[in-house]
Structure 1
Amino acid sequence: MQIEDTKEIPKRTRYYQAMCDSEALNKGEVYYNLKELYIVFLCPEDIFGQGKAVYRFKNLDVDCPKIELGDLCFKNFYIFNKYRDVAEKSIREYLEYFATRNPSSPETKKIDRMVKWYQTDNETRKRYMTWQQEIDIAVDLERQRANDAEKRFFEAKDRADKAEAHASEEKARADEAEARAENAESRADRYEKMLRELGKL
């Protein structure tokens, strides 16, 4: 559940996919054993701004969307403040509970009872806060890694641009030297011709 739009939620789905996949396979295990993976976000507001209650993503070919990658990874976003627009009754009941905190089905009433119990259990609250802190730290580390990678990229690009500029300068100097050599050779040829005409050679 993501209450606040931090402008990084889509990238968090990528991070969560990597975490889940790395835990799903043992070392040396074949990729064929990867199962379907659904990453689900529950958001109060429409972070994509298209007015939909549900957004479902999967990997498709950019030039031909009919072609699916088939990696069995799906990322779904449910905008629970738009629960009235959800067709599936069971999903709508869950989203309504998240939006209103009023349980309207046996399933959501059971969740509501569990939520109230956990809220009164200090040890559970402490574990939850620790878990949330670990997630926040992991996200911050991932963001820092991305920033560092971006910084290294621009530094490498800057070095490449400087090297290219230096190479261009060296080529210009070489071309200039070649032109001077050609001019000197041309003058020598003219001087030799003149001396031959004067009978000096």
Structure 2
Amino acid sequence: MTDEQNTGNAEGFEPLTAEYERVRHSTDAAALSAYARRPLPDRADQAAFSRATALLEAVAGNLNTPVEDRIHLAEAMPFPNVLVKLSADPEPEVRRAVAANEDDKNWLVGRLTKDPVPEVRDAALTNPRTSWKMRLEGAQNPEVDAATLDFLAKLGVEIEPKAPAVLSSMVRRAVALNPNVTPATLARLAEDGSDEVRHAARRAIERRG
């Protein structure tokens, strides 16, 4: 390759750090939307793929990116660097989409089970990536809604039937003791195959009269 060709290739090239900062601070919503929706390069082109995913992190962290595009990234992206940015988004719908993304790392889903917005918390608790520790804490949380408790009450039975028996029964027992659990869910737990769950549910039914 000649020096002239080298010079030509270099012209117009923007280093990644410069483009990242430009995108991160951009106020051009249309351009940011285009970045968010642009198809990723083939993974075989490692340099181009890495550059594109790095720039998506900048797009995700820029609040001038339209909300619908941030939600799209939160739903579609499997990349931790992008999802971490979106998990701190001020828009609950963006965080809820991250919480429901099954490509999440379990520690990131776990963080969102503590979100102050119920819809975000509930999405995280029903994500199969959530750890058993977080599921148990969710089942014990009196602020968790009845629908999510009903989901947790099915773990190890109708949902994830091959789940560890001890862990799933601990979660179902905690659901039985949660004041938000519905009579219908309690009635089902009162017939649970686990003695501990069954007894907890029947005691709760008795207390409710």
Normalising to structure 2: TM-score of the pair? 0.23
Please say which structure displays the higher CA radius of gyration. Answer: 1
Q: Which structure carries more relative contact order (alpha carbon 8 Å, separation 6+)? A: 1
Answer 1 or 2: which has greater strand percent.
1
